[in-house]
Amino acid sequence: MFLEKMLQSQGFGSRKHCQQLIKNGAVAIQNEVITEPKFKLNLQNLEFSVHGQSFQYREKVYIALNKPINYECSHQATHHFSVFDLFDDVLMNRGMQCVGRLDQDTTGLLLLTDDGQFLQALTHPKKHVPKVYQMQTADPVTDEQIQQLEQGVELRNEKGIFSATDVIRLDEFKLQMTVHQGVYHQVKRMLAAVGNKVENLHRAQIGQLKLTDLAEGEWIYLTENQANAAKNLIADQI
């Protein structure tokens, strides 16, 4: 691939802008400044720098974010910050999207990508990717509520029954459960349907991809193995 095209693919702007960056001596590979836009590259394990900042070539990006509270999953956030504010322009120029959504007041694991197939694989309604949520509740969690959640509840304006698996009372006011669909406000509505109320909500896991060491607002690139694990529901941790 030509250097100018590689830079464009990584979010450094239009082909013309990338050509200009190269001609101006802003781009280096293995510490050697390259000023020829049509310089031919081997993309394998490619590292490069632009204005002295190092980058790794990534065909696609897969990102795991521990979403903080008060961030919306939309580009044009109206009342809060946007999760996209947490990423620089170079990444945003690649057209990253959220894989599913979390509410503004929900924290936890959110995946973002510019890989349309990955997005489709994880959000397709028929795929039923399990997602583990932990929540604080307004009222004590009862055995009856756990049973009802496992058996399934109806949600207004939604077809079918919505049930959870692995419903675990972590303490009197704390519940963990796994849901397999992803309709609007699903967890909050399911808790309301059994007569309780979610006070705060955290997503701990998508597929077998678990959030472990990321602080709120922190994010990492997933390795190809982790991205495949998320897609194919194979165990992995981040």
Q: Given 89, 103, 139, 236, which residue is catalytic?
A: 103
List interacting residues with ligand URA (CB under 6 A).
Answer: 102-103, 106, 185-188, 201
Q: Report whether 70 contacts 53 (CB < 8 A).
A: no
Helices 224-232 and 116-123: crossing angle in degrees, nearest 10, is 30
Please say which residue, 27 or 102, places its beta carbon nearer to ligand URA: 102
Please say which residue, 93 or 181, places its beta carbon nearer to ligand URA: 181
| Cβ-Cβ contacts under 8 Å for 138 (sequence gap 6 or more) | 173, 196, 197, 198, 199
Please say which residue, 7 or 141, places its beta carbon nearer to ligand URA: 141
Q: Report whether 110 contacts 98 (CB < 8 A).
A: yes
Which residue, among 62, 57, 25, has the nearest Cα to 44 in the 3D structure? 57
Angle in degrees, CA 123, 9, 32, rounded to 5: 140
Distance in angstroms (rounded) separating the CA atoms of residues 113 and 6: 18
Please say which residue, 94 or 189, places its beta carbon nearer to ligand URA: 189
- The verdict on whether 103 is a catalytic residue reads yes
Minimum Å gap between C-beta 164 and ligand URA is: 11
Minimum Å gap between C-beta 112 and ligand URA is: 15
Minimum Å gap between C-beta 55 and ligand URA is: 32
Minimum Å gap between C-beta 3 and ligand URA is: 42
Residues assigned a catalytic role:
103
